Each structure stands twice: as structure tokens, then as C-alpha cells.
Structure 1
Amino acid sequence: MAVVITSGVIDTKVMGYDVAATIQESGYKVGDVATDFSLKNIDGKMVSLSDYKQAKGFIVIFTCNHCPYSVAYEDRIIAIDKKYKELGYPVIAINPNDTETYPADSYENMIVRAREKGFTFPYLFDEGQKIYPQYGATKTPHVYLLKKEGPRNVVRYIGAIDDNHKDASKVKNHFLEDALQALLHNKKIENTYTRAIGCSIK
């Protein structure tokens, strides 16, 4: 089902799941070129998209430690990273939250959480909250799928990972994976926007 955009509003339902969303006035839209960044990883090293010379693109996910939605998706994010980084699309996770408001999302606690869960991907700290407003992220988790096109990283999908944060076994629509499969097979992404479901960025 194609996404229909009318007066800045995306209206569609996929198998009963309401993915209506208002396009953010600020931040990236599908088709925009995402600028690179340099953020500190949990190992203390700075990470940029340009570090990944062989990547075909990136799965940028804004997430955090404390949000129950983010916690519910951690195992799925690990599985997606393991599967798709081998195909050229690694996960790059970014914690966008203000740690004074939510100390549970501190850099130190990010290190602990990543170790506990065995994160297989970079978990970067958006110090000063400079990157998430560029993207227009509003939730944790909030996904931005980027495709390398020459020297550019072009936004090809924005929104949710899938349609059921509560139970992975009951997911009917794998929005992110459907978009990834379309890119890998040079096909059109049918749903380029879905409504991100999660905690508001603090």
C-alpha cells in the first residue's frame, strides 16, 4: 500500500495498523540528505557515518535506557543489526535524552546497559542534544533508514520498527525490515513513513 500525502499529513492503514502521521515541520523528510556526525560511543571512541566505508547505508535509531518501548525493542534491534550489517546496513543507535532530566540515560548507564544486553552496534551519546533535532526525531525508538548514494546519505524511511512493541511474536508489519528488503532488491519502498511509537525525547 502506497503512502498518500495530503496537506503535509500521511494517511494510510496497513492491515489495521494506523500509521497516520504528521510530517515534522523541522528535521529530515524522506529524500533529504542526512549530514554526518561525530558522537561518542560507549567505548569512548568517536563514531561517524564516514567511518563505514563499505556500508550501503545505515539504520539510525534514536533510543535510550529508561523508556519501556526502547527496552522492549532491544532484542529486535540486536537481531536486525546482526542480520543487516552483513548486508551493508549496520545499526547506529543514538541516545538523545537530557541526562539531567533522566539520569538513567547517562553515558555511564549507557555503558552498563549495552554490556548487560550485549549490544552488537554502536550506542552513541548525543551530548548537547545537537543531532536529534536535525533528524526531527520525537520518540524513542525513532528510526531513520539511510541509503548511500555516492557521497550522500539519503533518508529513505522514517518511523517505527514494526507494529507491535509489546510482543514480537505478534508483529504483523515489519516496517523497517520491509524497507530494508526493498532497498536490497532495488525496489520501491511502499511505506516510507510510519508513526513512531515510544516515549517522547526528554
Structure 2
Amino acid sequence: MAATPPVCDFDWPAPDFTLPATDGRTVSFADVAGPKGTLVMFICNHCPYVLAVLDRIQRDARDLVSLGIGVVAISSNDADAYPKDSFDNMTALAEERGFVFPYLYDEDQSVAAAYGAVCTPDFFGFNANGGLQYRGRLDASGRNAAHEDMRRELFEAMKQVADTGRGPADQIPSMGCSIKWKGKV
């Protein structure tokens, strides 16, 4: 089922987390925070919205890191009900696609709940002080990737955050598959 997150609550403080990563480390918000800001993405392995733009997510993550933005992805889906989203399958996807960011597993879904994550993909862009500045979409893609020359909304917003500490006033929310909460299949 498609879901859409709420608009950006500017300066809302980033909740901390410490989660296992597919590369064997345990990673916290402080570990991934960049000197100019941090992008926290909620994604998963099976969502067609995520799969349609995974190459673009990789591209933007790589470009944002070069601007001083830390990037991390978190999967919070119920892997018992959606086995493609299991930690083993997350590890395989991260290796197969050569993720340029840590891919973390929120098995008890407490981090998704703390962030108020609604869908996959769901993007939370924070400034260097940990205040929320972006809660929008990657670009105009939906279940299918839009044209290659499509405006890079997430990248442009996070570049603005890196340059000024503030996100754009106008943001279009992301859309994707709803988070698969335990006990709600």
C-alpha cells in the first residue's frame, strides 16, 4: 500500500540510534553524521519504489558525501512477514549493489517509530546541528524511475543544507510502500 509522509517539521531534533550494519559494524547517528549534515533514509529490499530509484539513491549519496553530508540507510520492515527484507538479504543487496553508505537493520522497529517513518523510501535530512531540514522526495519518480534529466530534489535540498544550514521552504513529500509494522500484516 502506498503511503506519504507528513511535511518537514523544521529543526525537529534527530533521534539517536545504534543499530547493526550489513558490514558487521554497529553504527550510531554520531558515527554517520557529516560535518555539514546527515541524511537518514528508510528503505528496504522489496519495495518497488525503492528498487526503481536505488541507482539514483546511490548517485546522490555519493555526491552528498563529497559535500560533507553523512548518509545512512535503515530497513525497519517486519522480516518475518516480508522475508526479502531479512538481515541476510539486506547484506546481500548491499554487497551486490556496492552501497556507499551503511545499511542498518532496525529489527524492533523502534528507530522507525522514533523518526515517524511512514514509507520506503522516506528521507530525513538534518543540518550539522541535527535539526530536520528536509522531509521530501528523491525526485519525481514513483514506482518507475523518472527520466534521467529529472530535477534532483533531495540532492539540491541537501546541498542547500550543506551550504546554509537550512532546507528549502517548499518540499514535496516522498511516496512509497508503507513501513511493514509487526503485527499489522
> Contact 1:140–1:199 at 8 Å: present in 2 too?
yes
The 1:148–1:190 alpha-carbon spacing in structure 2 relative to 1, beyond 3 Å, is closer
- Amino acid of the residue matched to residue 23 of structure 2? D
| SS of alignment partner, residue 83 of structure 1 | helix
Q: Equivalent residue for 1:144?
A: 124
> Contact 1:32–1:154 at 8 Å: present in 2 too?
yes
Q: Deviations over 1:98-135 (max 9, x none)?
A: 11110110000001111111111100001100001111
How far has the Cα of 1:69 moved from its partner? Answer: 0.7
Structure 1's consecutive aligned runs of 4 or more residues displaced over 4 angstroms after TM superposition are none
- Choose which of 144, 161, 174 in structure 2 pairs with 1:196: 174
Structure 2 segments unaligned to the other structure (5+ residues): 181-185
| SS of alignment partner, residue 87 of structure 1 | coil
How far has the Cα of 1:45 moved from its partner? Answer: 1.2
Using CA pairs under 8 Å that are at least 6 residues apart, name the structure with larger relative contact order, 1 or 2.
2
Q: Equivalent residue for 2:141?
A: 164
> Contact 1:162–1:175 at 8 Å: present in 2 too?
yes
User: 2:65 & 2:161 partners in 1: Cα distance?
Assistant: 14
- Choose which of 28, 37, 50 in structure 2 pairs with 1:70: 50
Q: Deviations over 1:161-185 (max 9, x none)?
A: 1112323425543221121121233
| Most deviating of 71-80 and 167-176 | 167-176
User: How many corresponding residue pairs?
Assistant: 176
- Amino acid of the residue matched to residue 84 of structure 1? L
Give TM-score scaled by structure 1 length.
Answer: 0.79
The 1:171–1:102 alpha-carbon spacing in structure 2 relative to 1, beyond 3 Å, is farther
How far has the Cα of 1:55 moved from its partner? Answer: 2.9
The 1:118–1:139 alpha-carbon spacing in structure 2 relative to 1, beyond 3 Å, is same
User: 1:113 & 1:80 partners in 2: Cα distance?
Assistant: 18
User: 2:10 & 2:149 partners in 1: Cα distance?
Assistant: 24
User: 2:156 & 2:66 partners in 1: Cα distance?
Assistant: 17
Alignment root-mean-square deviation, CA: 2.1
The 1:41–1:22 alpha-carbon spacing in structure 2 relative to 1, beyond 3 Å, is closer
User: 1:171 & 1:199 partners in 2: Cα distance?
Assistant: 24
- Amino acid of the residue matched to residue 6 of structure 2? I
| SS of alignment partner, residue 74 of structure 2 | strand
- Is 1:121 aligned with 2:122? no
Q: Equivalent residue for 2:163?
A: 185
- Amino acid of the residue matched to residue 201 of structure 1? I
Structure 1 segment 84-123 matched on structure 2, within 5 A: 84-123=64-103
| SS of alignment partner, residue 110 of structure 2 | coil
- Amino acid of the residue matched to residue 55 of structure 1? P
- Amino acid of the residue matched to residue 194 of structure 1? I
Higher strand share: 1
| SS of alignment partner, residue 184 of structure 1 | helix
| SS of alignment partner, residue 31 of structure 1 | coil
User: 1:65 & 1:53 partners in 2: Cα distance?
Assistant: 24
